[in-house]
Amino acid sequence: MSAWTPYQPKNEAPWNVERVVHLHRRAAFAASWSEVQRDLREGPEAAIHRLLSGHERSKFNAEFEALSQNIAQAAVASNSAIRLKAWWFLRMLKSPDPLGERLTLMWHNHFATSNRKVENLLWMHDQNQLLRTHSRGPFGKLLSATLKQPAMLKWLDADANRKGHPNENLGRELLELFTLGIGNYSENDIQSAARALTGWTIKKDEFVYQESRHDDGQLEIFGSRLTLDGDGLLQRTLEHPATARRLAWRICSTFMGENTYDEAALADLAAGLQRQDLNIGWAVETVLKSERFFSANNLRTRITSPTESVISAVKALELDDPPPNTLQLSEWSTRMGQDLFYPPNVGGWNGGRSWLGSRSIVARCNFASALAMGQLWQSSDPARVESSLVKLLEQYAVGSHLRDRAQWLATLLYGTSTAEQVSIVIGDLNSSETPLSHMIARLMASPDYYLA
């Protein structure tokens, strides 16, 4: 695992505020200042372990889950997609396990399923819970659970795929997107995969295998001739080395910045994944603990997704008590280009540079204003954010000079601050009555905030 040697703090890569903020923005949306200070004190080992264990924020666990469940049930019962989105935003904001939510978001992109065609919020919700439950386990369990579930079966026309008249949709995306990736199979393999999956369908909100519809004839796949059912097909895709390579890529593209890993690093991680029974938790741990992850050229080189950027400001600034209206947070994310439960197609969001179209940037700037002006809360109050921030800065004993305050806020959001950023943020604020919310609006509308 030479590409992923563990991180040890050293002169060129010290364990400092910049790296603590980096870790949280990549793996947990963001951290509050007290969390940053705690992790700075306790060191990288403890900080990463806390994220991986799922108990980053330990308080109110049972209470939170009960509340979350009630909200989800109400959203499904009222058949309101926007409320289901708001439910997930609340989870991302308040969950004791932010890494789990970050991974759930990753899997929602990997197994991108849209309610546009599924048209069933119960199924969409259940799929989302499966992604969460299996988010850091062996990939085989996640794959099987997600595929043998009505949302995916409906999305990719499983019911239309029957003995004697195969429908390729599910088989093709299984090989192209969920497991092997493009270039690792033939058109004939696709047709065989479709035949192996015949008999899979939905009955009464459940997956069922209808033997009478299954094609148990000989088929040829990945160079072997045999008879194969859906479970057998999944097993073969899991054993295929290309699947480990694709998962390594998925994890790196989620947690690493642009141009920070090459084909050799992917191969190294893929080889480890194969040895570890495709254990995702192991791979995530390996990446987050690596020297590569904390190296200077991996800092602030990843363009944040709309969902991440919406959540991270609210979390870092501790504006989550009471939380903003999460219906609004989800609408802003949509305006920026990420509509959860409605990915653009089965390939998911492309991510990276494609997040920064003009509309998305205008929406990011407008979101910064709306947040700073207190417009995202149930009762809109222009002074809300200013007074919250005043209290926050008092709590952390930040100096009263505008320069100190701008520098502290920039450090909290970006991990670091330059004199230039501070000057831009302060600008002409001397006469302003609400300098802190002005600064926040400027910091969040800045291109510097688009990178994490």
Partner 1 sequence: MTSRREFLKVAGGGALVSFSPLLPSLFASTASASGASADEKVLVVIQLDGGNDGINTVVPYADDGYARARKLLFQKTSELHKLNDHVGLHRSMKAAFELFEDDRLAIVQGVGYPNPNRSHFSSMKIWQTASIDSADHGGYGWLGSALDYAAEDVERPNEASTAQNAIFVGGQETPVALWGRRSSAISLSRAEDLQLELSSMQSAVPSPITSRNLNDIEQFVRKQSVTAQSAAKAFAQQNQKSGSTASYPDSGLASQLKFVSQLLRGGNTARVFYTIQSGYDTHANQESSHSRLLGEFSEALKAFLNDLKAAKLDDRVVVLAFSEFGRRAAENDSAGTDHGSSGPLFLAGSPVRGGLIGDTPDMSDLVDGDLKSLIDFRQVYATLLGKWLDVPSKEILRHDFETLRLFH
Binding segment for partner 1 among 271-279, 354-362, 391-399, 401-409 (CB under 8 A)? Answer: 354-362
Check residue 365 for interaction with partner 1 (CB under 8 A). yes
Q: Compute the C-alpha angle 398/423/26, nearest 5°.
A: 65
Q: Which residues contact 227 (CB under 8 A, 6 or more apart)?
A: 216, 217, 218, 219
Tell me the closest approach of the beta carbon of residue 220 to partner 1, in angstroms.
Answer: 16
Q: Rule CB under 8 A: say whether 441 interacts with partner 1.
A: yes
Give me the phi and psi of 216, to 5 degrees please: -100, 20
Q: 61 or 260: whose CB is closer to partner 1?
A: 260
- Smallest distance from the beta carbon of 352 to partner 1, in angstroms? 9
Q: Does 200 bind partner 1 (CB under 8 A)?
A: no
From residue 214, alpha-carbon distances to 130, 153, 191, 227 in Å are: 26, 15, 14, 11
CA angle (91 as vertex; 407, 28 as ends), nearest 5: 45
Give residue 392's identity as a one-letter amino acid code.
L
Is 363 one of the binding residues for partner 1 (CB under 8 A)?
yes
Q: Which residues contact 75 (CB under 8 A, 6 or more apart)?
A: 83, 84, 86, 87, 121, 125
Of residues 262, 266, 261, 231, the one with CA closest to residue 246? 266
Give the residue, chosen from 58, 224, 350, 380, that forms a contact with partner 1 under the rule CB under 8 A: 350
Q: What is the dihedral of CA 291, 297, 303, 305, to 10 degrees?
A: 10
Per CB under 8 A, the list member of 337, 392, 414, 436 interacting with partner 1 is: 337
Q: Is residue 295 close enough to count as binding partner 1 by CB under 8 A?
A: no
Stretch that binds partner 1, among 63-71, 161-169, 225-233, 273-281 (CB under 8 A): 161-169
Among 165, 203, 275, 401, binds partner 1 (CB under 8 A): 165
Contact present, 111 and 152 (Cβ < 8 Å): yes
Residue 172 gets which letter from DSSP? H
CB atoms within 10 A of CB 140: 18
Residues 23, 48 contacting (CB under 8 angstroms):
yes
115 binds partner 1 (CB under 8 A): no
Nearest by Cα to 155 from 200, 185, 214 = 200
Query: Residues touching partner 1: how many (CB under 8 A)?
Result: 61
Asked if residue 354 binds partner 1 (CB under 8 A), the reply is yes
Is 100 among the residues that bind partner 1 (CB under 8 A)? no
Residues 31, 196, 284, 373: which binds partner 1 (CB under 8 A)?
373
Q: CA-to-CA distance for 255 and 400, rounded, in angstroms?
A: 36
The 8 Å CB, 24+ separation contacts for 35-38 are 36/412
Site stretch for partner 1 (CB under 8 A), options 23-31, 98-106, 165-173, 393-401: 165-173
Contact 355, 324 (CB under 8 A): no
Q: Which listed range, 85-93, 224-232, 275-283, 347-355, lies at the site for partner 1 (CB under 8 A)?
A: 347-355
Stretch of residues binding partner 1 (CB under 8 A), selected from 41-49, 195-203, 306-314, 351-359 = 351-359
Return the structure tokens found at 128: 């989302």
Site string for partner 1, 254-283 (x = CB under 8 A): ---xxx------------------------
Stretch that binds partner 1, among 23-31, 85-93, 212-220, 365-373 (CB under 8 A): 365-373
Exposure of 322 by Cβ count < 10 A (0-12 exposed, 13-18 middle, 19+ buried)?
A: exposed
CB of 262 to partner 1, least distance (A): 15
Hey, which residues between 171 and 190 contact partner 1 (CB under 8 A)? 172, 176, 182-183, 187, 190
Of 31-90, which residues contact partner 1 (CB under 8 A)? none
What Rg value do the Cα atoms of the chain yield, rounded? 23
- Scanning 87-95, 156-164, 242-250, 387-395 for contacts with partner 1 by CB under 8 A, the matching segment is 156-164
For partner 1, which is the closer residue by CB, 165 or 275? 165
Q: How far apart are the first and last CA of the chain?
A: 26
Question: Minimum Å distance from CB 425 to partner 1?
Answer: 8
Q: Which two tokens stand for residue 52?
A: 């991986």
Cα(307)–Cα(88) distance, integer angstroms: 10
CB nearer partner 1, residue 51 or residue 445:
445
Residues at the site binding partner 1, with contacts judged by CB under 8 A: 157, 160, 162, 164-165, 167-169, 172, 176, 182-183, 187, 190, 257-259, 301, 303, 335, 337, 339, 344-347, 349-350, 353-354, 356-363, 365-366, 368-370, 372-373, 418, 420, 423-424, 427-428, 437-438, 441-442, 445-448, 450-451
